[in-house]
Amino acid sequence: MIRPYAWGSRYGIATLQGRPVPAEDPEAELWMGAHPSAPSGARGSTLDTVIAAAPERELGPDCLARFGPRLPFLLKVLSADRALSIQVHPSRAQAAAGFRAENERGLAPDDPARNYVDDWPKPELLCALTPFEVLAGMRTPADAAGILRALAVDELQPPAAGLERGTSDPGSVLESVLRRPEDGRKELVSQVVDACERLASVDGRYAGTCTAALRVALDHPGDLGVVALLLMRHTVLEPGEAVFMPAGGLHAYLRGTGIELLANSDNVVRAGLTGKHIDVPELLRLVDPSVAVPVLSPRVRPGGIACFDTPAAEFGLCLLELSGPALALPGAGPRILLCLDGAALLRTQAGGQLELTRGDSCFVPFADGLVHATGHARLIQATPAPAPPHRLPGVVS
């Protein structure tokens, strides 16, 4: 299912699916999975319904024991032409507590004031298909002080001095920005935009971040998020590179097309650059300025398989390059496969077969067993991450 959010591109998803471009309307996300708000079609029904009818067959006993009768991951193609909101995701404990509290307050499931639409965490991996510009994680104190000094906006110099002295940190500076009283917000944003115009014209350390801030300011005039984003680390992912966002990691995706694989949740707490619900106090409670968000490259395995290693239990992502001979797909359990290029023939241990061409995707249940793929194609495979090996008490490895 395609989500037509206003920040979406009219090119990325349509191009992948072989439809005319530009598309008539923005197309932000293509969802493949069993989230109840937008489940994929499957076998004449929807995938969440199919799984609910026979969870052990569809998910397998290990996945069922670890996550219950719910597909633990959601696969997306994300294509952004404008900035997404500045946001953070909760841990499992935070999500459970937040969901329970909002239920106790009597918020309806579809209430736009909700932060927590379910009780799951939402770690996520974003893998670039095109150059993808992101703000991911917060700057170190020294780096945050550096950009505030470079901006030379009077109001931002005391926070810069606090960072240099060690009496404040990027999280406290973020809080002071986002909690700024309504009076004077537009003036601060205007001064920062003027400073960014100056820095963007110089090929210096902060030119890329300031150029991004100028684009965002055009889409969100007067939004304090334009100031807040300068405290975040700016990166352009090359195709095949990825970032992993754990709980507490502040981020905003700016533009590009990529694969997003996440836990099967839609819990988002936002602080700016959006017309959706913003909850600054809750975001500040969840954000962890120390969360590191390194750029990841996949671990290459024999046979045209490359997989990303993350700490997320709910998902694992592999990139598969088919060159003709049969390839046994890695992992076990339920899978979602997406064809990025070419054509692939899938054959399952249970005797089924299916052809995928560019833009096609499918769900393969646990009961189908080992899957072989032949052809010339690039595939994305999403599965649950393998369970950690069982260790006997007292045994250390």
200 belongs to a structural domain: yes
Q: Does the pLDDT value for residue 394 go beyond 90?
A: no
- pLDDT tens-digit profile of 144-172? 999 999 999 999 999 999 999 999 999 99
Task: Name the residue type at position 253.
Answer: Y
170 belongs to a structural domain: yes
- pLDDT tens-digit profile of 290-331? 998 889 999 999 889 999 999 999 999 999 999 989 999 998
Confidence of residue 391 (pLDDT cuts 50, 70, 90): very low
Q: Long-range contacts: 138-143, Cβ < 8 Å, 24+?
A: 138/170, 138/171, 138/174, 138/231, 138/232, 138/233, 138/250, 138/287, 138/289, 138/291, 139/170, 139/231, 139/232, 139/233, 140/170, 141/166, 141/168, 141/169, 141/170, 143/233
The bridge status of strand 73-80 relative to strand 251-263 is antiparallel
Confidence of residue 395 (pLDDT cuts 50, 70, 90): very low
Report phi then psi at 390, rounded to 5: -75, 130
Task: Name the residue type at position 128.
Answer: A
285 belongs to a structural domain: no
Contact partners, residue 3, CB within 8 Å, separation at least 6: 27, 28, 29, 30, 31, 38
Specify the pLDDT at position 187: 96
Catalytic residue among 70, 114, 233, 270: 270
Contact partners, residue 359, CB within 8 Å, separation at least 6: 16, 17, 18, 339
317 belongs to a structural domain: yes
Task: Name the residue type at position 159.
Answer: P
Considering the domain architecture, whether residues 143 and 225 belong to the same structural domain is answered as yes
Give the span between the Cα atoms of 358 and 83, in whole angstroms: 27
Percent with pLDDT over 70 in the chain: 98
For residue 372, what are the domain limits?
Answer: 299-383
- Boundary residue ending a domain (180, 211, 231): 231
**Taking the alpha carbons of 260, 263, 264, 265 in that order, is the dihedral positive or negative?**
negative
Specify the pLDDT at position 294: 87
Do you find a cis peptide bond into 159, omega within 30 degrees of 0? no
Give the span between the Cα atoms of 247 and 288, in whole angstroms: 8
For the chain, give the mean pLDDT.
Answer: 95
Give the span between the Cα atoms of 335 and 207, in whole angstroms: 42
Number of domains in the chain: 2
40 belongs to a structural domain: no
The bridge status of strand 124-128 relative to strand 269-272 is unpaired
CB 332 within 8 A of CB 385: no
119 belongs to a structural domain: no
**Taking the alpha carbons of 132, 190, 282, 28 in that order, is the dihedral positive or negative?**
negative
- pLDDT tens-digit profile of 166-201? 999 999 999 999 999 999 899 999 999 999 999 999
Model-level pTM? 0.94
**Mutual orientation of helices 185-200 and 141-151 as an angle, nearest 10°?**
90
- pLDDT tens-digit profile of 225-247? 999 999 999 999 999 999 999 99
Specify the pLDDT at position 388: 73
375 belongs to a structural domain: yes
Specify the pLDDT at position 243: 97
- Boundary residue ending a domain (207, 231, 255): 231
CATH for 353: 2.60.120.10
181 belongs to a structural domain: yes
Specify the pLDDT at position 397: 29
Average pLDDT (44-64) is 97
DSSP state at residue 331 = S
Does residue 270 have an active-site annotation? yes
Report phi then psi at 12, rounded to 5: -60, -55
Specify the pLDDT at position 389: 61
- Boundary residue ending a domain (185, 216, 231): 231
Contact partners, residue 24, CB within 8 Å, separation at least 6: 10
